[in-house]
Amino acid sequence: MNTESFQQKLFKELNNKEFFQHAHNHVQTYLDSAKERVVYPLISAIENLDVFDEHMPIDSNDGKDIIELLSTVGSQGTINTLNGRYFGFVTGASLPVGMATKHLTTYWDQNSALHAMSPIASRLETIVETWLKDIFHLPKTTVAGFVSGTSMANFCGLAAARYRLLERQGWDINKQGLSNAPTIRIVTSKQAHSTVIKTISLLGLGINQIEWVDVDNQGRIRPDLLPSLDNSTIVILQAGNVNSGAFDPFKLICEKARKVNAWVHIDGAFGLWAAATKKFKYLTDGMNMAHSFAVDAHKTLNTPYDSGIILCNDQEALAASLHMDAGYIIKSSARDGMYFTPEMSRRARIFELWATLKYLGKTGINDLINLFHDRALQFSNAFNEIEGFEVINEVHFNQVLVTCNDDDLTSRVLSIIQEERTCWVGESLWNNKRVIRVSICAWTTTKKDVELSILSFKKALRLSLKE
């Protein structure tokens, strides 16, 4: 096929309404069956994915056939986060407005690196930045970068911290690198999330250099065990322990850090949203004294994947740490988003975030988080009434940790639950004890979903005891 024929073929598909309607019909079918489909793929569905194993095709294929294959076979291999009974990870279920916005704006295909590349993306990033500062009660000088998730947001926040602490000591990390650079201290809890550890490694700060601080029985860092801080220290705190859901005591530690000019970064993947509520705002008391914050929208806020946010109260440090420039770049007096993220080319994920925030408003965010907490309490109260289960954490937010009499029994119960597929829960270690972790983070989780899940737990325990 010559280039003109190839191009004509593509234009024909672009203008083929039936082709796009065909895809949309499959989307609607998937949504319509959300509450009926199993929460985790059946073994047969996973085995059927073998159909995708093939050599790279030599010739072009029919677009409609590709969509058909994805819908009929691929969709059966998906995790059903809209089911309402997926509790294995802190995974949200996209709100309808977010899904519809992503569906619409996918066809816009905007690159949000520069205002010149997408004025609408630039404008909405500016607006959402303002909204986030408002609901999180952060200083007006705070800036936001819209990244893929908290892993990348943590990277950006700690990169900004590294830049600023070294700059204060007369060291330009961008020009001089890390070789022979002044030492940067890292202070964090023994319950720090694995993505924080990964970030420290990626930034060349050295995992072996971390000064670990012990935690209380809920996984909160203990301020009384904090080492002396100084202006070469990065303190990393947590808004929402990934197991217990507990929050570190921000105010006390931030006050200590502020006195010696240490940098405080808060990893708030799912918990930072507590600051936007009436009931749980107290958990984040004093966090506005920190310097940088990482948070996901695709968790607690229930936007579609992927939607992470870095917030930093040091615009110069953030922009300098993610420094990039070139002669062809067209700078604008409006927002150029690339200066607040590691990437230049970056899909405009701001559309779904803006739509979700506008749809929910402050009241809706409050109601959504209250819903998660109510369902977590429902789980906890039910477990406490069943002999053989023990809830071993306080339900601070949306996390419930439950265990059986011993590790082996806990693992057997978990395995049966996962095989039955009424709900799907994950496993973790807590104080060297094997636990089942229940994370409630989907707007679709109803009281009935919790009741059905509890029945699955009861059945699994009964069968496990017979083994």
pTM: 0.96
Q: How many structural domains compose the chain?
A: 3
Per-residue confidence band for 106, with pLDDT thresholds at 50, 70 and 90: very high
State yes or no: pLDDT of 17 exceeds 90: yes
| Domain termination site, one of 294, 327, 357 | 357
What's the pLDDT at 325? 73
Say yes or no: 180 and 323 in one domain.
yes
Is the peptide bond prior to 306 cis by the omega test (within 30 degrees of 0)? Answer: yes
Per-residue confidence band for 451, with pLDDT thresholds at 50, 70 and 90: very high
- Tell me if 82 sits within 8 A of 444, measured CB to CB: yes
Say yes or no: 266 and 408 in one domain.
no
Say yes or no: 200 and 240 in one domain.
yes
What's the pLDDT at 466? 83
What's the pLDDT at 460? 97
**Max Cα-Cα span within the chain:** 73
Distance CA 138, CA 155 (A): 20
Distance CA 40, CA 417 (A): 11
- Tell me if 248 sits within 8 A of 265, measured CB to CB: no
Helix (H) or strand (E) holding 210: strand 210-213
* 123 part of a folded domain: yes
* 427 part of a folded domain: yes
Say yes or no: 441 and 413 in one domain.
yes
CATH number of the domain that residue 433 is part of:
3.90.1150.170
Distance CA 438, CA 403 (A): 11
Distance CA 447, CA 241 (A): 24
In terms of residue numbers, what domain contains 32?
3-79
Each residue's pLDDT tens digit, 369-407: 999 999 999 999 999 999 999 999 999 999 999 999 999
End-to-end CA distance of the chain: 64
3-state helix, strand, coil in the chain (%, to 5): 50, 15, 40
CA distances from 109 to 58, 112, 155, 346, 347 (A): 27, 10, 26, 10, 7
Say yes or no: 328 and 381 in one domain.
no
CA dihedral 364, 369, 303, 198 (to 10 degrees): 150
Compute the half-sphere exposure of residue 232: CA atoms within 13 Å on the CB side of its CA.
13
DSSP type of residue 64: H
* 199 part of a folded domain: yes
CATH number of the domain that residue 336 is part of:
3.40.640.10
* 96 part of a folded domain: no
Distance CA 323, CA 252 (A): 33
State yes or no: pLDDT of 327 exceeds 70: no
The mean per-residue pLDDT over the stretch 233-255 comes to 98
| Domain termination site, one of 357, 377, 409 | 357
Say yes or no: 325 and 401 in one domain.
no
Q: Which residues of 322-360 are buried (b: 16+ CB within 10 A; e: fewer)?
A: beeeeeeeeeeeebbbbbbbbbbebbbbbbbbbbbbeeb
* 289 part of a folded domain: yes
State yes or no: pLDDT of 365 exceeds 90: yes
State yes or no: pLDDT of 128 exceeds 90: yes
What's the pLDDT at 323? 79
Mean pLDDT of the chain: 95
State yes or no: pLDDT of 155 exceeds 90: yes
